[in-house]
Structure 1
Amino acid sequence: MHALQKCFLVTAVTCLIQNALGSEIINGKKAEEKSMQYMASVQNNTEHKCGGFLVSKDFVMTAAHCPIENPKSLSVVLGTHDLRKADKKMRYGVKMICRHPAFKNVTNGNDIMLLKLSKKVPLGDKKPVKLIELPIQKLNLKENKICSVAGWGPTEPGKHRSGYVNELQVLNVPIINKDKCQKLWGITLKNVICAGGYKAKSGICQGDSGGPLICNKLAVGIVSFNNNNSCKYPDVPNVYTDISQFLPWITDILKKKKCKG
C-alpha cells in the first residue's frame, strides 16, 4: 500500500473512532437495585458526562478522553442507579484530575483517568456505596467469556443526541480475541480488551464512556471506543482500556494520594 493510501486509511479510522467515544448501552436492561453500588456518574455543572466506578474511599476511575478539565465545575454522583434521585449527600466534589500522562487519544491505548474526590466516601455494609475490586496482576481473559458493562447513555441507536437515560442500564458482553479484534479494526490496539458489538445486536455507543467492564466481580476494563456514531450492531468489536496493564500507575496514585507524572 502506498504511503498516501495508508495516510488516508489511518485518518478514516481515527475519524470513526473520534465520532464514537462513549458508551450508551444498546439493547441492555435496567440494572437491579443495589447490584452495582460502585457505579459513578461523572458530571460537569451537574450534567452527566461519563460513567465511572469507585476504586478507593477517595478515588473514582474513568476514561481519560472524558470531556472534563476544570475540577471546580466537576462532581461525581455515587449511591444511586437513578440520576433523578441524586441529592447533595450523593454528590462529591473533585479535588484532583489524574489523567494518564501518556494519553493523547483513544488509539494509543492509555485511556484511563483517576479522579480524587474532595472527601472520603463512607463505606460499610449498610451504606449505599461500595468499592469494586481491581485485578492484582495482568489478565489473559479467555475468548467468549461473558462479562458485563453498565452506563446511563441512551438505549437505542441514533438517540444519543437526545440525552441520557436516568436509570442505569447493564449488558452482558463476550470477550473477543485481541488478534481477531485488531484484524477487524485494521489498526494496532495497545493495552486494550475487546468485548461485545461484533456479531451481536447489542453493545456500547455514545454518551457514557468511563464505565467498567466487569468480569468475575472485578473491574477489568474501562469503556473507551466503538465504531462510528450509528451504533447499529452487529459491528466491529467494542474496545476497553485494559486496567491490568496500568496497575503500577494506579497503585502509586492510590497510595500517595496524588497524580503520578
Structure 2
Amino acid sequence: MPLVLGSKIINGKIAPDNKMLYMASVQDYRGYHICGGFLVSENFVMTAAHCDLYPTYVVLGNHHLRSADKLVIQIAEKYKHPYYWVVGHGYDIMLLKLSRPVQPNKTIQFIQLPSHEMTLNENEKCQVAGWGKITTRGNVVDDLRVVGVSVISPQNCQNAWTQRIPGYILPTSVICAGGYKTTKGFCQGDSGGPLVCKGMAVGIVSFNKRIPGTKLGNCNYPNVPNVYTDISKHLDWIRMILQGKKS
C-alpha cells in the first residue's frame, strides 16, 4: 500500500520557544531524533505505534534539538496498542513510560487529552508540529516547526483516498486534516506529533501518500488528506496504561 509514515512540517514556521511546551523528541540509542511525541502526564509521552524504532530517550524542554539546555530522559517501557500491526490499518498509537517523573515548569508542560469520544467539525482550524524536512526532498532542520491545518470530513477524506487507491478503506479511528488541495501539512520521517485543536491534543500524526516509485511523501503537492490517529477513540486503553495497568 503506497503509504508513508508522517510528520515533517511543510510550509510551516518556527514554533515560538514559549509555546507548545509539551512537544517531545523521541530518540534512539544514538541520540538521533526518530519521531515526535507529546507529554501527557508526569510519566508518559504519547507518540505513534509505528515509531517503535528502538526508542531509547525522550528529549523535553527545548524546541532546538542541538541546544545543550534540554532534559533527556530514558524510556523505561513502551506500550504499543495491542491491535496495531501496520500503518494504514488504525490503532497507530503508543505510550512511552519515562524512567522518572517530569514536573511541569517554565519550559515543560503537559497537554490535555479529550475526556470523551468526539467528532471535529469540518474546516476546524488546528495545528500540527514536528522536526525535520520542510520540503519533500529538502534538508532536515533542528528547530520545531508548526503549521495550521483544517479538518477534512471523514467522507471527503475517504473519497479522496479511494480516488488514489481504489478499494482502500480508511480506518474508522482516524482524523483527516491538511495535505489536500493545500500546500500545508506534514511529510515523511517525523511521525508521532500531535494534532492540536483548541489547545487539546486530538490526533497523532500517522501517514500520508508517497510519490510513486519512491519512499518520499508527496509533500509539495499533496493529493490526499493527511491522516492522524483519533485519540478520543482510544481513551479506555489510554486510561488503562496511564493508571499502571498492562495492555
Q: What TM-score comes out, normalization by structure 1 length?
A: 0.87
Q: Per-residue displacement from partner, 1:85-104 (whole Å, max 9, x unpaired)?
A: 145x6100000010000001
Q: Which residue of 2 aligns with 1:142?
A: 121
Closer/same/farther in 2, CA of residues 64 and 98 from structure 1, 3 Å limit = same
**Higher Rg of the two aligned structures:** 1
Q: Which residue of 2 aligns with 1:248?
A: 236
Q: Which residue of 1 aligns with 2:21?
A: 37
Task: State the secondary structure of the residue aligned to 1:51.
Answer: strand
Percent identical residues: 53
1:232 matched to 2:220: yes
Q: What is the Cα deviation at residue 234 of structure 1?
A: 3.7
Q: Which residue of 2 aligns with 1:195?
A: 177
Task: State the secondary structure of the residue aligned to 1:171.
Answer: strand
Task: State the secondary structure of the residue aligned to 1:131.
Answer: coil
1:181 matched to 2:165: no
Contact map agreement 2:182 2:221 (CA 8 A) in 1: yes
Q: Which residue of 2 aligns with 1:132?
A: 111
**Residue pairs, 1:92-107, within 5 angstroms:** 92-107=73-88
1:56 matched to 2:41: yes
Q: Which segment is superposed worse, 90-99 or 183-192?
A: 183-192
Distance in 2, matches of 1:259 and 1:213, equals: 26
Closer/same/farther in 2, CA of residues 26 and 107 from structure 1, 3 Å limit = same
2:195 aligned residue (213, 220, 237): 213
Q: Which runs of 4+ in 1 moved over 2 A?
A: none
Task: State the secondary structure of the residue aligned to 1:106.
Answer: coil
Q: What is the Cα deviation at residue 67 of structure 1?
A: 4.0
1:66 matched to 2:45: no
**5+ residue gaps in structure 1?**
1-13
Contact map agreement 1:82 1:166 (CA 8 A) in 2: yes
Task: State the secondary structure of the residue aligned to 2:51.
Answer: coil
Contact map agreement 2:135 2:220 (CA 8 A) in 1: no
Q: Which residue of 2 aligns with 1:158?
A: 137
Contact map agreement 1:152 1:207 (CA 8 A) in 2: no
Contact map agreement 2:182 2:222 (CA 8 A) in 1: yes
**5+ residue gaps in structure 2?**
163-167, 211-215
Q: What TM-score comes out, normalization by structure 2 length?
A: 0.91
Distance in 1, matches of 2:51 and 2:141, equals: 18
Distance in 1, matches of 2:222 and 2:206, equals: 18
Name the amino acid aligned to 2:137: G
Distance in 2, matches of 1:39 and 1:98, equals: 19
Name the amino acid aligned to 2:57: S
Q: What is the Cα deviation at residue 194 of structure 1?
A: 0.1
- Pairs aligned (count): 234
Contact map agreement 1:202 1:233 (CA 8 A) in 2: no
Name the Cα RMSD after superposition: 1.3
